[in-house]
């Protein structure tokens, strides 16, 4: 049902690595500042199997606890949820596994330095103190990004320049040349995060954002990012052996993510990662990790996955996306239709959907939601319904009382995931 294909790199420029993430490490990392004019050997210090790293994995706001649960299930140590992400500890091979297997993380960032800072030149010295030559050198291209929360620094652009200067000064001193800057497709990415009184430097091991699985080229009008869709599936409590219906499926993101979860397809199986370009990358060992993951992929789905949409173009986009995700035609059933006429494919299951919504509902929209609600009560008794929307009055439009309302951000949009349970024989016509 799933066949691995060659990686399809995708690109994006100008993205913020840690959206709204407040880093609060317990202990700063000690560092040794090199003497000016010293020259180190070009061979990077090898990574030892026993060596561990402190990791920060950012994610969409609202998925922090779900991401922490995912990292715990993957076997990582010292997992704690933070703001817009989670922290954990692992070795270098765990870093690669996290990139390959995490469905919810946006990136896997290795913390290399953390220290108090008062002025921009402190950032320069902190950047100079890190053994960047261990990871990349003048033969690589570089990109540095900066984000901050409550930082007193006057210019984040200047802070970014100081960090970049510190990195380049270190490499020029150690290796006689500096890397070139590439803001589009760099070989190495570094992120500087500033708080009220500290700076933290991270090595980005992911490259392109992890939500870019490599299969979604066709997008709907309001697509969910892939890791958000996976997070909604986790928050909904969906059982991968249970039926799933998306009555407003659009380009199919929720259902394709569900199919990969049910089949055990690692989300990073067909894409490249930033760590593959770094010095000392052991391609043979990485290949072993991927081959082990590939061997665990299942052949068939247990329960039906159904997508309905009234737009033929959206359904065609969904089918193309599913094909690029190496899913066979019988993996997901895409149907042209109206959500108000949907029929449950099994006696019990889950509905998870991202319906169209706007800033203001017209009278005809209110009528639509009431008609959809009537269909839910009539045809889907025994099912669980989960809807993500920015309309906080949405339950009133359905005339249903939610069991849960989970705050979550879809990009910059403040949303809620409303969960309803349609109890059998609990409604009358």
pLDDT for position 153: 95
Residue 415 resides in a domain: yes
Task: Specify which residues 199 forms β-bridges with.
Answer: 115, 194
pLDDT for position 50: 85
Where are the alpha helices (H) located in 30-134, listed in sequence order?
Answer: 64-73, 92-101, 120-128
- Look at the block and give the residue holding tokens 């990790």: 289
Residue 136 resides in a domain: no
pLDDT for position 189: 98
- Look at the block and give the residue holding tokens 């409550």: 150
CA dihedral 404, 106, 268, 79 (to 10 degrees): -70
Residue 314 resides in a domain: yes
- Give, in order, the Cα–Cα distances in Å from 340 to each of 232, 282, 368: 23, 54, 8
Give me the domain span that covers residue 375: 226-265+298-421
Residue 411 resides in a domain: yes
∠ CA 396-399-403, nearest 5°, is 85
Residue 361 resides in a domain: yes
Q: What is the pTM of this model?
A: 0.87
Number of structural domains in the chain? 1
pLDDT for position 425: 54
pLDDT for position 27: 35
The pair of structure tokens assigned to 246 is: 């998306």
pLDDT for position 9: 30
Residue 67 resides in a domain: no
Residue 315 resides in a domain: yes
pLDDT for position 42: 55
The pair of structure tokens assigned to 356 is: 């169209």
3-state DSSP assignment of residue 171: helix
Q: Are residues 218 and 145 in contact, defined by beta-carbon separation less than 8 angstroms?
A: no
For 202-225, what is each residue's pLDDT tens digit? 999 999 999 999 998 877 666 799
Task: Specify which residues 419 forms β-bridges with.
Answer: 386, 404
pLDDT for position 124: 98
Which residues of the chain, if any, have pLDDT below 70? 1-44, 220-222, 357-364, 424-429
At 336, which CATH number? 3.40.50.150
CA dihedral 254, 258, 92, 276 (to 10 degrees): -60
pLDDT for position 307: 98
pLDDT for position 43: 65
- Strand locations in 149-266 (E): 180-181, 188-194, 198-204, 244-246
Residue 36 resides in a domain: no
Close Cβ partners of 174 (under 8 Å, ≥ 6 residues apart): 34, 38, 39, 40, 133
Helix axes of 64-73 and 226-236: crossing angle, nearest 10 degrees: 80
- Give, in order, the Cα–Cα distances in Å from 177 to each of 111, 327, 390, 412: 25, 47, 51, 40
pLDDT for position 363: 57
The pair of structure tokens assigned to 58 is: 């950012």
């Amino acid at each position: 049902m799933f066949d691995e294909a060659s990686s399809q790199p995708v690109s994006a420029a100008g993205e913020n690595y840690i959206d709204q993430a407040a880093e609060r490490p317990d202990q700063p990392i000690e560092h040794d500042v090199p003497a000016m004019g010293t020259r180190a050997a070009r061979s990077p210090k090898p990574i030892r199997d026993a060596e561990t790293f402190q990791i920060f994995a950012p994610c969409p706001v609202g998925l922090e606890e779900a991401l922490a649960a995912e990292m715990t299930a993957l076997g990582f140590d010292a997992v704690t949820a933070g703001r817009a992400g989670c922290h954990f500890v692992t070795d270098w091979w765990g870093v690669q596994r996290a990139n390959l297997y995490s469905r919810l993380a946006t990136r896997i960032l290795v913390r290399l330095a953390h220290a108090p800072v008062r002025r921009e030149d402190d950032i320069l010295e902190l950047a100079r103190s890190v053994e960047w030559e261990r990871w990349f050198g003048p033969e690589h291209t570089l990109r540095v990004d900066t984000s901050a929360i409550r930082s007193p620094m006057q210019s984040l652009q200047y802070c970014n320049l100081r960090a970049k200067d510190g990195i380049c000064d270190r490499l020029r001193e150690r290796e006689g040349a500096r890397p070139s800057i590439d803001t589009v497709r760099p070989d190495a990415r570094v992120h500087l995060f500033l708080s009220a009184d500290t700076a933290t430097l991270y090595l980005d091991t992911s490259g392109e954002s992890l939500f870019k699985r490599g299969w979604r080229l066709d997008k709907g009008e309001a697509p969910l990012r892939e890791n958000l869709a996976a997070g909604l599936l986790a928050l909904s409590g969906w059982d991968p052996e249970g039926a799933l219906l998306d009555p407003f499926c659009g380009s199919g993101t929720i259902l394709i993510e569900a199919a990969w979860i049910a089949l055990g397809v690692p989300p990073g199986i067909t894409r490249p990662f930033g760590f593959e370009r770094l010095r000392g990358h052991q391609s043979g060992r990485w290949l072993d990790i991927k081959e082990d993951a590939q061997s665990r992929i299942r052949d068939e789905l247990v329960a039906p996955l159904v997508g309905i949409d009234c737009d033929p173009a959206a359904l065609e986009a969904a089918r193309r996306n599913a094909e690029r995700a190496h899913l066979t035609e019988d993996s997901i059933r895409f149907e042209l239709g109206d959500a108000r006429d949907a029929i449950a494919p099994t006696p019990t299951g889950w509905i998870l959907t991202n319906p169209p919504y706007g800033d203001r509902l017209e009278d005809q929209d209110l009528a639509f939601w009431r008609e959809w609600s009537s269909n839910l009560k009539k045809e889907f008794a025994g099912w669980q319904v989960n809807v993500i929307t920015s309309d906080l009055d949405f339950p009133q439009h359905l005339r249903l009382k939610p069991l849960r309302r989970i705050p979550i951000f879809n990009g910059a949009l403040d949303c809620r995931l409303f969960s309803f349970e349609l109890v059998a024989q609990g409604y009358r016509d």
